[in-house]
Amino acid sequence: MVIRLLSRPGRTGRTVAAATVLLMTAALGAGLGAVTTAAQAGAPPAPVTWTVLVGSQTDDMAIQGQRFLPGDITIDAGDTVTWQANGMEIHTVTFLDGGTPQASLPPLDPTDPQQVTRQGGDTMDGTSYFNSGVLTTGPDAGPLPVPAYASYSLTFPGQGTFTYYCLVHGVMMRGVVHVQPAGAPYPATQADIDAEAQWQTNAINNDGYALWDQVRAASSRHRVFMGADDGVAMLMRFVHRKVVIHLGQKVHFLNTMSVGAPHTVTFGEEPQGPAIFQPSGDPTDYEGGDLHSGFMVPGSKFTVTFNKVGRFHYICALHDDMGMKGLVVVRP
């Protein structure tokens, strides 16, 4: 388009011409701005990355949470979820069959790479197996000779409902990701999610302390409970931590108040590698030195007869970094 400016020679003419150019420029700018705004309005929204916490713990690490925080999250197609380790206890984020709900899970096999190492890509396809590997705030995977991670991210390009589990703690520790169409309004912000996670953490801690009181009431100097868990909170302490018995007497170490957490009773040198899963030593005639229960799943018991006077320290080889340690004092 050709714009002709008509003006008389002289200063007045130049002023009129300049004003006309300014008006035309402003009009063109307004039009371009309207086009740009319309393009932006029609553009797809930028994907969002959401954070879900994995587990929780008290400051002394005695109480560990068995929950994803939050357990349910709603996102848009194209968004990413990052699961952030939130406690020393090990966990996994595992989608079986692309997120199909499961009625039950097999017991954790620490020697199976499919269960304890990272599997699958970084984009959910709705059919494959995805596993985060071991997630923990600790420096390593404890007794497991595999890498440990602080976080795990997965992008969800399509709509659907995807269920996942922690393989360490079974179906009781379950989470769900609901994926709605891209551009749909979110039911909650990350700030809302964080506030809900904190509320749930406080509830888990209160549950754990109540559980601790129950275990104390059931224990004695001959009955030491190897922590406890109820599907909400885990107690990572021997109860009672210190017991005093007499020469020739027995102590029964019971993992009977747990529904998901394994433990060990380990005196002396801690076994390394695969040896940690197998018992060693003679518990029927203990006079000090190395003695190891092996991997004790929920429901199991380990009885030790003490045939020497002294003070005998022991640990749970899986959770000693959390303070799960005990002492048996044997008197004549």
pLDDT one-digit tens code per residue, 268-291: 999 987 888 899 999 999 999 999
Residue 271 lies in a domain: yes
CB distance 109 to 256 below 8 Å: no
Question: Which residue range(s) make up the domain with 10?
Answer: 1-43
Indicate if 56 and 39 belong to the same structural domain. no
Indicate if 58 and 127 belong to the same structural domain. yes
Indicate if 194 and 224 belong to the same structural domain. no
Last residue in a domain, options 171, 205, 239: 205
Residue 136 lies in a domain: yes
Per-residue pLDDT at 304: 98
Per-residue pLDDT at 144: 80
Indicate if 4 and 66 belong to the same structural domain. no
Closest by Cα among 240, 250, 257 to 303: 250
Per-residue pLDDT at 145: 84
Last residue in a domain, options 205, 233, 264: 205
98 pLDDT higher than 60: yes
Indicate if 278 and 301 belong to the same structural domain. yes
**Can you tell me the mean pLDDT for 43-51?**
90
Torsion angle, alpha carbons of 12, 17, 23, 27, to 10 = 170
Residue 214 lies in a domain: no
Residue 319 lies in a domain: yes
CB distance 205 to 63 below 8 Å: yes
How many domains does the chain contain in total? Answer: 3
Residue 192 lies in a domain: yes
* pTM value surpassing 0.75: yes
For residue 103, with 0-12 CB atoms within 10 Å meaning exposed, 13-18 middle and 19 or more buried, which class applies? exposed
